[in-house]
C-alpha cells in the first residue's frame, strides 16, 4: 500500500469518482484499508449524495440476502448528482428513474419480471448455443489473422467486444447491421461519465439521449415481432404478459434495454481484463496454453480478478446495524463487489491471479435475489473465448499504453494496443 494512501484519513479516500478509475484503475489499496479499518464506512464525497461503502465479502452477502431491508428501487448505483439537485439529498435517479428494470425493482414485482425471460438464460438453454458460439469466436479471430500471422490491433474494440456482442444480438434476433448501433448506445450508457464515450451533452435529452434512440428502435423491433413472431428473445419480450395483460411499455423496454447492454459490455470488460491479466502473468498464460482444461476455472478467476461490475447500491428501508455501523432508514449502501473479491478472510492470497483457483466463491455476479441473470452465458462466452485464445495465440505483447474507462459502475480496459502472433497451423 502506498505511503500516500496510508497517510490519508479514511474520509479522504476516493473510491467512487469515474476519473479515479480511468486514471489510476480500481482503488484496491484503498479498499484493503477500508476492509481492515472500517468495513462499512460512510462517505460524503463532493458532488455525491452520501453513501455507506460496504467492502467485505460477508457484509455484502448479508445485505444482498435481505431485499426487504435493503431495497434496489431508488438509488441503485452511485453516480454524481446533477447540479440542479446539489442542495438536495437525491441523485437524480430516484424520483423519476430513466428506466425501471430488474436491477432497480424489488420483490414480488422483481420476480414476476425476471420470470418473463429467465428460461432463456438457464444453464441448459445456454448450452444449446455452444456450437454457434464456437463459430462466432472462430470468425472473430479469423477476421484478424490467419494461422502464422503477426498482427497489431486494439484488443478491446477489435476482438474482445465482438464475440459477446454478436452472441447477445443473435439471442435477441437483432440483425447484424444493427450491431454498431447496439454498441454505441451501450457505450453511451456505461460511459456516461467518460469524457470520450459519453453522449454529447448538447444533444436532445442530454447525456441520456441514447435512451430515446434505443426506445425508438425497441418500438420498431417489438412491433415487428408481434406481427411476425420468430424463435428469438425479442419475440418473447414483445409478446410477454403479466397476469394476462401486456407488459407496460416503459417496463418492457427497460427490461429489453438492460439485457441488450448488460449482455455484452460486462463480458467485453472481463475478456479484455482477462487478456490483460494473462499478459501481466505470463506463467498463468503458459499454464492455460498447456492445460486448456483449466478454462472453466480460469473464467471464474477472470471474473473475480477483473470484477467488471464494480458496485451496485441498495437503500435501507429501516434503521439497522451492519458490521457495527448504524445505518438509518433511507441511507444508501454501496456494495463494492471488486473489494469483496480481494477479501483476505475468504480468498487465499487474494492478490494472486491463479487460473486454477478453486474454490472461488467470488461475488462478481452478485448474490441473492439479483444474482446475474446472464451468469451462465457470461461464463460460456469467457470459457469459449479463452479456449480459442489459448489454442491460437502463440504470444501477445502491448504496443502502446493501456487506457481504462472513466467509470466506477461497470468498467475495465477501453483501449489496449497489442501485437499478437497467431500459432502456425
In the complex, the residues that contact ligand HEM under the rule CB under 6 A are 72, 102-103, 114, 121, 258-259, 262-263, 266-267, 270, 303, 308-309, 312, 337, 364-366, 370, 372-374, 377-378
**How far is residue 114's CA from residue 99's CA, in Å, rounded to a whole number?**
15
> Rounded to the nearest whole angstrom, what is the least distance from the CB of residue 259 to ligand HEM in the complex?
5
**Which residue number places its CB atom closest to ligand HEM?**
374
User: Measured between alpha carbons, how far is 310 from 415 in angstroms, rounded to an integer?
Assistant: 19
Question: Considering beta carbons, is residue 27 or 374 the nearer one to ligand HEM?
Answer: 374
Cα dihedral 36, 42, 44, 45 in deg (nearest 10):
30
For the purposes of burial, counting CB atoms within 10 Å of the CB of 66, is it exposed (0-12), middle (13-18) or buried (19 or more)? middle
Write down the least CB distance from residue 263 to ligand HEM, Å.
Answer: 3
State the nearest-atom distance from the C-beta of 312 to ligand HEM, in Å. Answer: 4
Q: Provide, rounded to whole angstroms, the least separation between the CB of residue 228 and ligand HEM.
A: 23
Choice between 93 and 422, CB closer to ligand HEM: 93
C-alpha cell at 90: 437525491
The DSSP symbol for 410 reads B
Residue 99 or 372: the one with the smaller Cβ distance to ligand HEM is 372
* Residue nearer to ligand HEM on the CB measure, 53 or 103: 103
Burial class of residue 164, CB neighbours in 10 A (0-12, 13-18, 19+): buried
CB 43 within 8 A of CB 71: no
Instruction: Give 68 or 142: the residue with its C-beta nearer to ligand HEM.
Output: 68
Least separation in angstroms between residue 424's CB and ligand HEM is 32
Task: Give the whole-angstrom CA distance, residue 99 versus residue 401.
Answer: 36
Least distance in angstroms from the C-beta of 11 to ligand HEM: 26
Nearer to ligand HEM, 259 or 294 (CB): 259
Using the Cα atoms of residue 379, residue 374, residue 175 and residue 274 in order, give the sign of their dihedral: negative
Amino acid at each position: 500500500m502506498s505511503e500516500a494512501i496510508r497517510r490519508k484519513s479514511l474520509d479522504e479516500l476516493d473510491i467512487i469518482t469515474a476519473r479515479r478509475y480511468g486514471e489510476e484503475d480500481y482503488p484496491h489499496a484503498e479498499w484493503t484499508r477500508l476492509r481492515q479499518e472500517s468495513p462499512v464506512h460512510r462517505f460524503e464525497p463532493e458532488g455525491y449524495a452520501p453513501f455507506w461503502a460496504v467492502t467485505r465479502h460477508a457484509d455484502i452477502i448479508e445485505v444482498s440476502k435481505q431485499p426487504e431491508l435493503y431495497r434496489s428501487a431508488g438509488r441503485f448505483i452511485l453516480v454524481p448528482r446533477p447540479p440542479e439537485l446539489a442542495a438536495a439529498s437525491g441523485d437524480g435517479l430516484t424520483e423519476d428513474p430513466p428506466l425501471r428494470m430488474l436491477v432497480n425493482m424489488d420483490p414480488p414485482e422483481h420476480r414476476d419480471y425476471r420470470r418473463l425471460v429467465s428460461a432463456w438464460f438457464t444453464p441448459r438453454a445456454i448450452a444449446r448455443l455452444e456450437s454457434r458460439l464456437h463459430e462466432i469466436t472462430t470468425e472473430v479471430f479469423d477476421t484478424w489473422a490467419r494461422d502464422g500471422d503477426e498482427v497489431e490491433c486494439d484488443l478491446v474494440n477489435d476482438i474482445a467486444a465482438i464475440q459477446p456482442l454478436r452472441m447477445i444480438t443473435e439471442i435477441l434476433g437483432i440483425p447484424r447491421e444493427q450491431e454498431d448501433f447496439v454498441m454505441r448506445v451501450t457505450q453511451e450508457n456505461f460511459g456516461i461519465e467518460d469524457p470520450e464515450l459519453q453522449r454529447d451533452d448538447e444533444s436532445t435529452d442530454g447525456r441520456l439521449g441514447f435512451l430515446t434512440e434505443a426506445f425508438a428502435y425497441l418500438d420498431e423491433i417489438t412491433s415487428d415481432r408481434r406481427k411476425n413472431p420468430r424463435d428469438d428473445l425479442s419475440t418473447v419480450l414483445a409478446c410477454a404478459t403479466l397476469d394476462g395483460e401486456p407488459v407496460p411499455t416503459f417496463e418492457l423496454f427497460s427490461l429489453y434495454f438492460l439485457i441488450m447492454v448488460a449482455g455484452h459490455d460486462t463480458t467485453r470488460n472481463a475478456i479484455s481484463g482477462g487478456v490483460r491479466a494473462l499478459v501481466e502473468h505470463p506463467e498463468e498464460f503458459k499454464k492455460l496454453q498447456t492445460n486448456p482444461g483449466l478454462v472453466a476455472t480460469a473464467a471464474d478467476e477472470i471474473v473475480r480478478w477483473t470484477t467488471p461490475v464494480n458496485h451496485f447500491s441498495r437503500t435501507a428501508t429501516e434503521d439497522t446495524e451492519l458490521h457495527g455501523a448504524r445505518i438509518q432508514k433511507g441511507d444508501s449502501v454501496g456494495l463494492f463487489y471488486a473489494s469483496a473479491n480481494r477479501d483476505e478472510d475468504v480468498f487465499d492470497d487474494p492478490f494472486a491471479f491463479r487460473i486454477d483457483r478453486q474454490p472461488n466463491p467470488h461475488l462478481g455476479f452478485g448474490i441473492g435475489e439479483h444474482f446475474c441473470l446472464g451468469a451462465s452465458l457470461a461464463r460460456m462466452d469467457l470459457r469459449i473465448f479463452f479456449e480459442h485464445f489459448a489454442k491460437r495465440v502463440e504470444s501477445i505483447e502491448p504496443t502502446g499504453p493501456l487506457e481504462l474507462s472513466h467509470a466506477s459502475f461497470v468498467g475495465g480496459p477501453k483501449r489496449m494496443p497489442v501485437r499478437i502472433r497467431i500459432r502456425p497451423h
